[in-house]
Amino acid sequence: MAWALSEFAARYDGFIVDLDGCMWVGEEPIAGSSDAVAALREHGRRVVFATNDPRRSPEEYVRKLWRQGVRVAASDVVTVGQALERFLATEHPGRSAYVVGSDALRRHVRAAGIKDLEGRAGEHAELVVVGGSDDLVFEHLRVATLALHNGASLVATARDPVYPHPEGPWPGTGALVALFEYASGKRAQIVGKPERYLIDAARERLGAAERVLVIGDRLDSDIAAAVRAGLDGALVLSGTTSADEVRRHQSARSSGGGAPPRPVAVAENLAALVLAGGASDSRVSAAGPGPGRK
């Protein structure tokens, strides 16, 4: 099937697309998202997916995309777990860690050459590594808090307070980070968005693409990371952020108040942003060229 790109999307030759809130919400695909990816590829655009969600391995995300009808290879998906692995191997080689997170996250920590301490041994770890988990129990909180008070540094995958789910927002990694920061008085070092580590890793996968657009559903995470990486960021409203929130942030910026960076475009979903006739054709920000546009 032939799709035409929106005038806005046609300006770019590389795309870094978030997963939760852009491609799906929970296990439910977002209508038109797979068509949007197909259209970009049909027109010769390179697409890489980048996620702040540390709960699954890259291979699991590849399988989930295939189930949605998006044909991807492992090289097309970059997870915050992979960015964390690279970060730990570079910045904290040979240290020990207590991990509060999924088995997938723990595998990345071990692959970085970090000694993974479990149980009471974790109370004396040099690092506490935090990522979202569906299996959190109080014992994890207790051991991690003791480790932090015993001198461990705090490293986390993200600050997202929630992530989108069909029931409504579910607590994200940022909720855990806030708990540990409050309990220890320490500030976490963040590897995922809004920092640029994950975006930089995804940018490398795009190869020769020069005009790169980051697409996500959070102003304070996806769009902020794009700006820090020197790229344009577009917002979709199919995940966590609502149109009312966008308007409030715009008002805060115009009045001089603190607000997240402004997206270069806002659309209801990925299809509206990418496909001709979608909302992006009439809702591109009037802020002018962003740092990544030529």
**Residue pLDDT, tens place only, 273-284:** 999 986 544 444
The Cα-based distances of 124 to 133, 144, 147, 180, 188 in angstroms read 22, 9, 5, 16, 18
For residue 138, give both structure tokens: 């109080």
Same domain, 13 and 109: no
Same domain, 99 and 46: no
Same domain, 136 and 222: no
Which pLDDT value is given to residue 258? 60
Same domain, 261 and 228: yes
Range of the domain at 279: 9-52+209-283
Say how many domains are in the chain: 2
Which pLDDT value is given to residue 182? 97
- Indicate whether 198 belongs to any domain: no
- Identify the residue whose tokens are 């709960």: 55
Phi and psi at 224, nearest 5°, equal -65, -40
Q: What is the pLDDT of residues 79-96, one digit of tens each?
A: 999 999 999 999 999 999
pTM: 0.88
Average pLDDT, the chain: 90
- Indicate whether 266 belongs to any domain: yes
Which pLDDT value is given to residue 289? 39
- Identify the residue whose tokens are 């480790």: 147
Q: What is the pLDDT of residues 103-115, one digit of tens each?
A: 999 999 999 999 9
Q: Which stretch of 34-48, 141-155, 174-188, 277-291 has the lowest confidence by average pLDDT?
A: 277-291
Which pLDDT value is given to residue 278? 62
Please tell me the distance from the alpha carbon of residue 56 to that of residue 223, in angstroms, as a whole number: 23
What's the distance, Cα to Cα, between the start and end of the chain in Å? 30
Please tell me the distance from the alpha carbon of residue 179 to that of residue 24, in angstroms, as a whole number: 28
Considering 144, 163, 190, which residue would you say is the last residue of a domain?
Answer: 190
Which pLDDT value is given to residue 191? 95
Please tell me the distance from the alpha carbon of residue 60 to that of residue 103, in angstroms, as a whole number: 12
The Cα-based distances of 244 to 30, 63, 72, 249, 266 in angstroms read 20, 34, 34, 9, 12
CATH (domain of 171): 3.40.50.1000
Same domain, 226 and 273: yes
Residue 13 · residue 211 · CB < 8 Å: yes
∠ CA 148-221-179 to the nearest 5 degrees? Answer: 25
Q: Please name which of 123, 202, 193 lies closest in space to residue 156, comparing C-alpha atoms.
A: 193
Residue 286's pLDDT band (cuts 50, 70, 90): very low
Q: Write down how long the chain is.
A: 294
Considering 133, 157, 190, which residue would you say is the last residue of a domain?
Answer: 190
**Residue with more model confidence, 57 or 142:** 142
Residue 164 · residue 217 · CB < 8 Å: yes
- Indicate whether 72 belongs to any domain: no
Please tell me the distance from the alpha carbon of residue 80 to that of residue 158, in angstroms, as a whole number: 8
